[in-house]
Amino acid sequence: MKIHGTHQIHAPVDRVFAALIDPQILQRCIPGCESLERTAENTYVATMKAGVGAVKGTFKGNVRLEDIRSPSHYRMLVDGKGGPGFVKGTGEFDLSGNGGVTDIAYTGDMQVGGVIAGVGQRMIEAAAKMLAAKFFTELEKQLNPNDAQR
């Protein structure tokens, strides 16, 4: 499954890029992320309790960042397993700054398998979009903590 989208963050591109590769900030932004530990250069192991509505599962997986070209581009590789199934995918993030505003364009290619893919197939795309929106809303909050409306 391919997903893509753009999101605007009200912060300069340098700050946004730094946040996107900062494990502490990522842990707070990734919906349901319980831990994100660095195991090697740009490699992390993550535990997340991800879900939508009543449907929830605990996933454990590896996250690796590649092709880091600060402050405009990086690639994220995710490989996770959990009770309801497995997720494997890559995502490309492209940032472009315009004064105090940064546009993030992302494209992802994900494979989802197991029970969640069998019965949840018709909802996976909507769930992925919802989790992505939550991620960026939280990122905005982390970067602009005093601006409650955003």
Partner 1 sequence: MIPASFDYKRANSLDEALSLLAQNEDARILAGGHSLIPAMKLRLTQPSLLVDIARIKDLSYIREEDGQIRIGAATTHYQIESSELLKQICPLLPACAAHIGDVQVRNKGTIGGSVAHADPAGDWPAAVLALNAELVVASKNGERTIKADEFFVDLLTTALEPGDILREIRIAKTNGQSAHAYTKMAHPASGFAVVGVAANLTLNASGGCERASIGITGVSAKAYRAGAVESALAGAALNEQTIANAAAHATDGIDVNGDLFASADYRRHLAVVYTRRAIEAAIKSVPPA
Give the residue among 93, 66, 89 at the shortest CA–CA distance from 79: 89
Task: Using the rule CB under 8 A, give the single segment among 7-15, 19-27, 104-112, 119-127 that binds partner 1.
Answer: 119-127
Strand partners, 86: 81, 113
Cβ closest to partner 1, residue 26 vs residue 50 = 50
125 counts as binding partner 1 under rule CB under 8 A: yes
25 counts as binding partner 1 under rule CB under 8 A: no
Cβ closest to partner 1, residue 42 vs residue 137 = 137
Q: Which residue in 6, 69, 72, 126 binds partner 1 (CB under 8 A)? A: 126
The string over 37-55, giving b where at least 16 C-beta atoms fall within 10 Å of a residue's C-beta and e elsewhere, is: eeeeeeebebbbebbbeee
Cβ closest to partner 1, residue 45 vs residue 130 = 130
Q: How far apart are CA 30 and CA 69, in angstroms?
A: 22
Give the residue among 60, 63, 126, 71 at the shortest CA–CA distance from 93: 71
In the complex, minimum distance from the CB of residue 30 to partner 1, in angstroms, rounded to a whole number: 18
Q: Which chain residues interact with partner 1 by CB under 8 A?
A: 52-57, 83-84, 115-116, 119-127, 129-130
